[in-house]
Amino acid sequence: MTTTELTINGHTKVTPHHTQRVAYVYIRQSSPGQVLHHKESQINQARIADYAIALGWTTDQIRILTSDQGLTGATSQARDGFHELISEVTLGQVGIIFGYEVSRLARNNADWHRLLEIAAVFDTLIGDFDGIYDLCLFNDRLLLGLKGTMSEAELHLLRIRLDEGRARQLERGEYRQGLPTGLIRHRWRRGQGPGWPTVSGM
């Protein structure tokens, strides 16, 4: 990060008041499949802790939060890590929250703006690979608000594309529903009727 990203109007965003408190690095992938197969994403997200060290936090002050791995950001339900984060901020324990990108923290405006409001009240910074944001500054608050809105809109557009793709597969008779646990799908066999695969137990 450049000096410009850490200052505004000549005032430094990261102060001893922040570095005396802990830094949280929030890591989240949206599904168990991503957790299992996209290991590089986990490494990249954890690597942002290096920024915290460069900004003045010690390794003992950095908390890597991974308890929300495999959970969607579309809601905060069941996301214990997100609720822990909110609680620690309201206790005045957190100097900065890092995420690889802000969509890791929340994919809906209700949770996102709740976090922003609490961070502003308790003077907690938010950081990602684009920069450091001070919620007490109007421009930073405006930018993060826009990022949150775009993140939620992106999720909505992804859902539309997935639903449309599924509908086209159904029209062509190519859609294959996932099977319940314990069943496997074999190759289609002749004489069983068109489009009907063989299904058996494991």
**Spatial distance between the Cα atoms of 44 and 21, rounded to a whole number of angstroms:** 24
Q: For domain 3-154, which CATH number applies: 2.70.98.60, 3.40.50.1390, 3.40.50.850, 3.40.640.10?
A: 3.40.50.1390
Q: Percentage of the chain surpassing pLDDT 90? A: 28
**In a 10 Å sphere around its CB, with 0-12 CB exposed, 13-18 middle and 19+ buried, how is residue 75 labelled?**
middle
- The answer to whether residue 30 is catalytic is yes
Q: How confident is the model at residue 133 (pLDDT cuts 50, 70, 90)?
A: very high
- From residue 15, alpha-carbon distances to 22, 48, 138 in Å are 13, 19, 18
Phi, psi of 131 (to 5 degrees): 160, -170
The whole-angstrom separation of Cα 144 and Cα 97 is: 13
Lowest model confidence (mean pLDDT) among 52-66, 87-101, 141-155 = 141-155
Distance between CA atoms of 44 and 25, rounded to whole angstroms?
12
The count of C-alpha atoms lying within 13 angstroms of the C-alpha of 36, restricted to the half-sphere facing its C-beta, is 3
Whether the per-residue pLDDT at 97 is higher than 90: the answer is yes
Which among 137, 119, 142 has a CA at the least distance from the CA of 24? 119
| Contact (CB, 8 A) for 133 and 143 | yes
Share of the chain above pLDDT 70, in %: 81
Q: Which amino acid is at 175?
A: Y
pLDDT of residue 10: 41
Output the CA–CA distances (angstroms, integers) from residue 125 to 86, 105, 153, 169, 182, in the order listed: 13, 14, 24, 46, 47
Rounded to two decimals, what is the model's pTM? 0.69
Active-site residue among 30, 76, 103, 151? 30
Q: What residues does each domain of the chain span?
A: 3-154
